[in-house]
Amino acid sequence: MQNTTEWATIGKIVAPFGIRGEVKVFPLSDVPDRFVSLETVYLAPDHHRFSIAGVRPYKGDMLLLKFKGIDDANAAEKLRQRDIVIPLSELATLPPDSYYQHDILGLRVLRMSGEEVGVITDIWTTGGNDVYVIKGTQGQQILIPAIKEVIKQIDLIRKVMYIDPMKGLLDDEAVIDDPDQKEIE
């Protein structure tokens, strides 16, 4: 199954918790109660299947997960830093104009004119909106906000994102204040 299935990462095991085999999990899913609705998950990189015996909230955004067959701290310790994954086929359907991070990563970014900007290499989650990290055609890092004013079209079939950057967003349009320039009165 691991060779033929595409996987989506939905969480990361941070550390064991207590003596009964629970693990602390940092969820990487925007879907509320994602883990409550799942019966089984897989752990990367070998995609070994684990049945979920219990889920409960922990401090902040963290969760405590109990897997069947993991009954003590030593067994839980072996799972530290493992990614929790599920097959892409088990992902929830998103509303229109919403995308999973794995859909966005790797997209070629073009201006509306067709000029290539680069490739999306990372996504930063911020309080207001996500920020797409692009490796530019010259190897430079470019940051663009994931807002409708900038992102005009996403074509997952062609693996392309079209943007219309606002003035000053890309270096070639930036207005740089020159402290040596005298003010004209």
Instruction: Return the pLDDT at 30.
Output: 67
Domain with CATH 2.30.30.240 in the chain: 101-173
Cα gap 179→124, rounded to integer Å? 33
CA distances from 139 to 20, 114, 134 (A): 48, 19, 9
Instruction: Return the pLDDT at 109.
Output: 95
Cα gap 124→129, rounded to integer Å? 9
Q: Which conformational region is residue 114 in: left (phi greater than 0), alpha (psi within -120 to 50 degrees), or beta?
A: left
34-38 contact pairs (CB < 8 A, 24+): 34/10, 35/10, 35/11, 35/63, 35/65, 38/86, 38/90
Instruction: Return the pLDDT at 29.
Output: 73
Domain with CATH 2.40.30.60 in the chain: 7-90
How far apart, in Å, do the first and last CA atoms of the chain sit? 72
Fold of 101-173: SH3 type barrels. (2.30.30)
Instruction: Return the pLDDT at 162.
Output: 95
| Kind of pairing between the strands at 141-145 and 40-43 | unpaired
Total residue length of the chain:
185
CATH superfamily of 7-90: RimM (2.40.30.60)
Instruction: Kindly give the confidence (pLDDT) of every residue in the chain, 185 residues in length, as a single tens digit, with 9 standing for 90 and above.
Output: 445 578 888 889 999 999 999 999 988 876 667 788 889 999 998 999 999 999 998 988 889 999 999 999 999 999 999 999 998 888 777 777 777 787 888 999 999 999 999 999 998 877 788 899 999 998 999 999 999 999 999 998 899 999 998 887 876 544 445 555 555 54
